[in-house]
A and B are shown apart, each in its own frame.
Chain A
């Protein structure tokens, strides 16, 4: 009996607790955090929200701070919903959202700061170059399961989508899926980057990402006969287009107003055009 006693680690039930609990604890902290990313600098301007807009907001902030030494702009991620919430609660001066506001969120005033295209992407070696939007909807709804049914090499389709609540997914749902559901069996990734990574390595996969992030590792599909690029979007031909929004509660205060003016100025808009977004100043109609 003595041997048995000796064989058990003295604090084993406690030790068991530690690992899952710590994971859990950190999860809770993150959950809390994402909800209310409070601005850290008191004098500075806090811009928080959509991770799709974040890299562009970073660029704007960088240049703006160069032009106006002494001004501090904090750009934070957290997601569209977190951005909306932060703008409402005043935790951020400006919220960023890559999806349209829901009816109960309309108390915020919104400024469209750029347009972004959504590209449907496949592996570069995939022989399929063109699809109709209806076909794309069937694919993501799980109705088409094999590439041979849509003119590709036989092989089960690997559909890659974004997580529920993502601005990109919301836009895709609205623009492509309409009333249909995205299949439960689709692989879910939590960023444009990982979707691109999977599609770049899996010859049978199909996904969708922000047009600004399309590169040589993948190929964007021609949809309904229109190639997705800045020209076709400006001409109003390519239909998968969503607005990038800045959100403010009430009237913009001095500093937030100045930053938004810069963002909408020719310089600000040129900056994001270089990065692959479509400027608002060039005026495309409501897509």
Chain B
């Protein structure tokens, strides 16, 4: 073997090691969370965790149902706010505005993604929460406040990915449709939307991922009451907030129960990811 060959082989090996170190982080996280979280799940019963209504770690009751529902509610709320806004914005920018407008607005939207979540939370606390309290009543810290802020936070994801899928459509789609006598809106609704469907779904799922995982902003504006909210104006606690709120003071089984919360969160994220994979596979088939 020549020197060149040997060094080539060495480089290949080291690249392989580096590449796998990234994957191994995932493995380490999975093992660690399950190792820390599952013993307590079995000790107090999987069912009690999933269906229990009471979160009183001091009394050894670890019901996570309010937090599971809280996470799902807040995520759903974020989608209700973010999806129509994001899609409308994407369609307007790609189909109904000039290139110059697009060149100015798109970077601005991408900038939105760079704002730290604690800033969104702060804006929520200072502006949105008092506004909700004054106009709609309740404490202000609520499902509604969290949904609106999260809806705004997922906008850049939804807008830029669905914009990309619109611009990737071949020009002939638009030209053909217009040539058949369709109006611009008919073209968007009947031709472009169905054609870009997969990209739009991907953007929504990505946005959903961000909403489920967001922690800081939600802690600041959701009120964090560990109960199933009775209305949109009631406070709510998500799985991520549950971990972040209590980890500082938790010890023993309580600490383990927070890891169990992580396990549940992990499973939810896995389910979402599988759903994302399935929709992308369907597209290819």
Chain B contact-residue range equals: 35 or more
Across the interface, A16 reaches (CB within 8 A) one of B66, B209, B250, namely B209
Report chain B residues within 8 Å CB of A23: 213-215, 240
User: Does any Cβ of B come within 8 Å of A267's Cβ?
Assistant: no
- Give the most central of B55, B56, B255: most A CB within 10 Å: B255
Please, which residue of chain A has its CB at the minimum distance from the CB of B196?
A7
Q: Is the CB of B205 within 8 A of A16?
A: yes
Chain A contact-residue range equals: 35 or more
Q: Is the CB of A9 within 8 A of B219?
A: no
Pull 14 A–B residue pairs with CB atoms less than 8 Å apart, ordered by A.
Answer: A7-B166, A7-B199, A12-B161, A15-B206, A16-B273, A16-B276, A20-B212, A22-B213, A24-B213, A28-B29, A30-B247, A85-B251, A156-B137, A163-B245
> What's the nearest-Cβ distance from chain B to residue A123, in Å?
12
> What's the nearest-Cβ distance from chain B to residue A215, in Å?
18
Bound-complex Cα distance A13 to B54 (A): 36
Report chain B residues within 8 Å CB of A189: 224
Bound-complex Cα distance A184 to B223 (A): 12
Q: Chain A interface secondary structure, helix, strand, loop or mixed?
A: helix
Having A28-B29, A184-B54, A202-B139, one finds 9 other A-B pairs with CB under 8 Å, namely A16-B205, A17-B273, A23-B240, A24-B29, A24-B265, A85-B251, A156-B138, A163-B224, A190-B245
Q: Is the CB of B195 within 8 A of A30?
A: no
Q: Is the CB of B29 within 8 A of A163?
A: no
Please, which residue of chain A has its CB at the minimum distance from the CB of B206?
A16
- Give the most central of A20, A24, A25, A201: most B CB within 10 Å: A20
User: Does any Cβ of A come within 8 Å of B266's Cβ?
Assistant: yes
Report chain B residues within 8 Å CB of A184: 53-55, 66, 225-227
User: Does any Cβ of B come within 8 Å of A78's Cβ?
Assistant: yes
Tell me the A1-58 residues at the B interface (CB within 8 Å): 2-9, 12-13, 15-17, 19-25, 27-28, 30-31, 34-35, 51
Q: Is the CB of A82 within 8 A of B169?
A: no
User: Does any Cβ of A come within 8 Å of B16's Cβ?
Assistant: no
User: Does any Cβ of B come within 8 Å of A192's Cβ?
Assistant: no
User: Does any Cβ of A come within 8 Å of B198's Cβ?
Assistant: yes
User: Does any Cβ of A come within 8 Å of B189's Cβ?
Assistant: no
Report chain B residues within 8 Å CB of A205: 139
Of A164-172, A232-240, A242-250, A277-285, the segment with at least 4 beta carbons within 8 Å of chain B is A164-172
> What's the nearest-Cβ distance from chain A to residue B111, in Å?
17
Please, which residue of chain B has its CB at the minimum distance from the CB of A190?
B245
Q: Is the CB of A167 within 8 A of B249?
A: yes
User: Does any Cβ of A come within 8 Å of B168's Cβ?
Assistant: yes
Report chain A residues within 8 Å CB of B259: 31
Q: Is the CB of A9 within 8 A of B161?
A: yes
Q: Is the CB of A35 within 8 A of B140?
A: no
> What's the nearest-Cβ distance from chain A to residue B33, in Å?
7
Q: Is the CB of A190 within 8 A of B248?
A: yes
Q: Mark B109-150, 1 if CB is under 8 A from A, else 0.
A: 000000000000000010000100100011111000000000
Q: Is the CB of A165 within 8 A of B195?
A: no
Q: Is the CB of B249 within 8 A of A27?
A: no
> What's the nearest-Cβ distance from chain A to residue B273, in Å?
6
Q: Is the CB of B235 within 8 A of A187?
A: yes
Bound-complex Cα distance A163 to B258 (A): 13
Q: Is the CB of A81 within 8 A of B250?
A: yes
Q: Mark A180-200, 1 if CB is under 8 A from B, else 0.
A: 010011111110001001100
Q: Is the CB of A188 within 8 A of B212?
A: no
User: Does any Cβ of A come within 8 Å of B210's Cβ?
Assistant: yes
Report chain A residues within 8 Å CB of B258: 31
Bound-complex Cα distance A12 to B160 (A): 13
Report chain A residues within 8 Å CB of B183: none
> What's the nearest-Cβ distance from chain B to residue A15, in Å?
6
Report chain B residues within 8 Å CB of A156: 137-138
Q: Is the CB of A164 within 8 A of B165?
A: no
Bound-complex Cα distance A185 to B226 (A): 7
Q: Is the CB of A34 within 8 A of B248?
A: yes
Tell me the B263-285 residues at the A interface (CB within 8 Å): 265-266, 269, 272-273, 276-277, 280, 283-284
Q: Is the CB of B283 within 8 A of A81?
A: no
Bound-complex Cα distance A19 to B276 (A): 14
